[in-house]
Chains A and B, each alone.
Chain A
Amino acid sequence: MNRNLYKILTIGLVISLAFMIAGFTFGMFNNVSRENIFKISEDNIKLDKFISELKNNKEFDPLLLSSVGILIMIAIPVISVFFALTYFLIKKNYRLFVICIGVLLVLILSAIAGFLI
């Protein structure tokens, strides 16, 4: 379990950082939001805006690439919980399997809570 979990965390970290570096590098060349990086409320990418831009934006936006990197970073621990859950199920350790389900449910609850406010 430990070895596979280590691999998941490492691969996730590398992919996430690669997206972040790529977004930052392209942003440097494209001069994206360089003057406005401290404008928080208007310029930041909210999730709904992020998804619509991802679907509709024909022009390449380095900020979106960086945001994808951040989202992958956020997803890494969730994937590790999924992995633990599967591992405990295979090992027929139902008590720990239920605990992992509980953690996942609370994570889903947080996503719903974030969406509702």
Chain B
Amino acid sequence: MLVYFFLIIVGLFAGLIGSTIGIGGGLLIVPILSLAMKIPIHAAIGTSIVAVLATSVASSRRFIKKGVTNIPLGMVLEIPTTFGAILGSLLVVYIKNNILFAIFGIFVFAAGLFTFLKNRFKKPDPILSKVINGSFNKTSDTSKTTEKANSAIFDSEYYEETLKKHIKYHVVKLPAGLGISFFAGFFSGLLGIGGGIIKVPALNVIMDVPLKAATATSSFMIGITAVVSSIIYFYNGYINPLITILIVFGVLAGSTFGSFIAGKLAARNIAFIILTVFSIIGMLMFLRAFNILNY
């Protein structure tokens, strides 16, 4: 009975921290399940990917209702993402435990460092500022005009509640976005994470999608990407129903609560906590990879 309770707490913690600092819960679920609860890492990843899927379905609902999600863009980026996810998920079946621990350790540390820097030097969304200032996508270059015409079907708009105005934006550098999406899908399939930590910056910084729309589109995409990995994990028996449902309940409750408190925390204050927590997790995963931390 205590185990059930602990699993819900793990999910709750992952969902709460994940949504508060703007990453999925997967980066926390896998280390906790595999290191603290001694669940085989393949099964921990399988559990995590279903939890990621559930979180994506729950959170993308809200964005879709408000019309923030760019569905056409999400669909086109999903093609390379799902290819990447297939490759990553298939690779998991053949990768040894210690190698998976090492890859996860490196990824968690890199994600922690990135999130730390993002929060430490947090500034307003540059794309949104450009849209408001009217300096957005002004180009007379003919090659860029052709590119603009090609990606015009992905242009979109949404109502920005904080500014009380409609934000129209034009999507650029689609090929680069397609390439990065492949890697996001690959890591999602390999590590059982959502991949939002790669997708959101790519959409925002490279493809000129405002942060809110980038987050919404990424959230929508994560669900579809997670389907691919979930099917492969399900086939191979890496999804334990009991562990999974308890983690899902916890993550859903935690992410709902986390999204409420996210805006109330000072970004700079949580930056150090993120770096510390992720560094410790990354180091523990690495130690486990080389059998230094063995039990």
Chain A residues proximal to chain B, CB less than 8 Å: 1-3, 5-6, 9-10, 12-13, 16-17, 20-21, 23-24, 27, 33, 37-38, 40-41, 43-47, 63, 66-67, 69-71, 73-74, 76-78, 80-81, 84, 93, 95-96, 99-100, 102-103, 106-107, 109-111, 113-115, 117
Contact = CB atoms under 8 A, between A and B. Distances in A.
A12 to B, nearest CB: 7
Nearest to A65: B241
B75 A103 contact: yes
User: Most chain-B Cβ atoms within 10 A of its Cβ — which of A40, A45, A84?
Assistant: A40
B236 A96 contact: no
A6 to B, nearest CB: 4
A43 B39 CA distance: 13
Nearest to A76: B57
A52 B61 CA distance: 34
A24 B236 contact: no
Contact of B64 (A6, A17, A23, A103): A6
User: Most chain-B Cβ atoms within 10 A of its Cβ — which of A1, A10, A38, A78?
Assistant: A38
A78 B241 contact: no
Interface in B218-245: 223-224, 226-228, 230-232, 234-245
Contacts of B245: 20-21, 23-24, 66, 69-70
B83 to A, nearest CB: 6
Nearest to A68: B241
Contacts of B37: 38
A37 B242 contact: yes
Contacts of A45: 237, 241
Interface string B231-269: 110111111111111101100100000000000000000
Interface of B: 3, 37-40, 42-43, 50, 53-54, 56-58, 60-61, 64-65, 67, 69, 71-72, 75-76, 78-79, 82-83, 85-86, 89-90, 93, 153, 223-224, 226-228, 230-232, 234-246, 248-249, 252
Given A13-B57, A44-B239, A70-B234, 19 more contacts: A2-B65, A9-B57, A9-B64, A12-B57, A20-B245, A20-B248, A37-B240, A41-B40, A44-B238, A44-B240, A44-B241, A47-B234, A63-B242, A70-B239, A74-B53, A74-B234, A99-B72, A106-B86, A117-B90
A59 B65 CA distance: 42
Contact of A103 (B79, B153, B237): B79
A16 B78 CA distance: 24
Contacts of B252: 17
Q: For the complex, would chain B's binding face be called helix, strand, loop or mixed by DSSP majority?
A: helix
Contacts of A73: 50, 53-54, 57, 248
A115 B235 contact: yes
Contacts of B54: 13, 16, 73
Contacts, number: 164
Given A6-B64, A23-B245, A117 B237 contact: no
A40 B58 CA distance: 27
B153 A96 contact: yes
Contact of A81 (B50, B57, B61, B75): B75
A110 B47 CA distance: 18
B67 A74 contact: no
A115 B93 CA distance: 12
9 contacts: A3-B65, A9-B64, A20-B245, A38-B39, A44-B43, A66-B241, A84-B71, A99-B72, A106-B78
Given A41-B237, A44-B240, A81 B224 contact: yes
B230 A74 contact: yes
